[in-house]
C-alpha cells in the first residue's frame, strides 16, 4: 500500500517502503524482459552498460558504483567472461588487478539490451512519470543518491 503524508510531514517509513517496493517491482519486470529477449538479467545489463561507458574499469570500480561487495562483483564478471562478453587484461599500473573491457559480442549485446531496457522502463513508468511532479521526483532521488554516495552510506562492509 502506498504511503501517505499528512500535515506537511513525510511518512519516512512509508517513503522507504514505497521506494524499495517500486525498485523491486521495476527490477523484476526488467529482469523478465531482458531474460526473455536477450538471455541476461538486469544486474548483467547494468555491468555491461557500466563497462561500455567506463572501459578499462576494475572490479573494485563496479563494486563501488553498485554498492556491492568485491566478491559478488567478481563472480558477476566471471559469468560475463564465461559468455565471452567481457575480457580481463592485466592492469599495467597494478599487476594484482585486472582491467575490464567489453568484447564485440558484449558491446552488441548491451546495445540491443539497452533499447529493450529503455523501452520497458518507459512502458512501466509512463502512467506515473509525466509532468512537473515527475521532474521533482527525479531530482529528489538524484539528490538523495548524491548525499548517500558523498557520505559513503550503505557501502558493503565485507
pLDDT tens by residue, 14-62:
999 999 999 999 999 999 999 999 999 999 999 999 999 999 999 999 9
Give the separation between CA 16 and CA 85, rounded to whole angstroms.
36
**Cβ atoms within 10 A of the Cβ of 17, count?**
14
- The residues pairing with 57 across neighbouring beta strands, listed in sequence order, are 100
Facing residues of 101 across strands? 87
| Gap between the Cα atoms of 87 and 71, Å rounded | 18
Q: What is the pLDDT of residues 93-107, one digit of tens each?
A: 998 899 999 999 999
| Domain extent listing, the chain | 12-126
CATH 1.10.1670.10 fits 12-126, yes or no: no
| Chain segment 103-144, per-residue pLDDT in tens | 999 999 999 999 999 999 999 999 888 778 888 989 999 999
Amino acid at each position: 500500500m502506498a504511503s501517505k503524508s499528512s500535515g506537511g510531514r513525510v511518512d519516512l517509513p512509508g517513503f522507504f517502503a514505497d521506494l524499495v517496493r517500486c525498485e523491486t517491482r521495476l527490477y523484476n519486470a526488467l529482469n523478465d524482459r531482458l531474460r526473455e529477449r536477450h538471455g541476461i538479467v538486469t544486474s548483467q545489463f547494468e555491468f555491461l552498460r557500466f563497462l561500455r561507458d567506463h572501459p578499462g574499469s576494475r572490479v573494485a570500480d563496479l563494486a563501488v558504483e553498485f554498492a556491492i561487495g568485491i566478491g559478488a562483483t567478481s563472480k558477476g564478471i566471471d559469468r560475463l567472461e564465461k559468455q565471452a562478453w567481457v575480457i580481463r587484461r592485466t592492469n599495467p599500473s597494478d599487476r594484482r588487478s585486472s582491467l575490464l573491457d567489453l568484447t564485440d559480442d558484449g558491446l552488441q549485446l548491451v546495445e540491443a539490451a539497452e533499447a529493450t531496457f529503455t523501452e520497458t522502463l518507459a512502458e512501466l513508468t509512463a502512467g506515473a512519470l509525466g509532468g512537473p511532479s515527475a521532474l521533482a521526483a527525479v531530482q529528489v532521488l538524484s539528490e538523495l543518491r548524491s548525499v548517500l554516495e558523498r557520505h559513503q552510506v550503505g557501502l558493503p562492509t565485507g
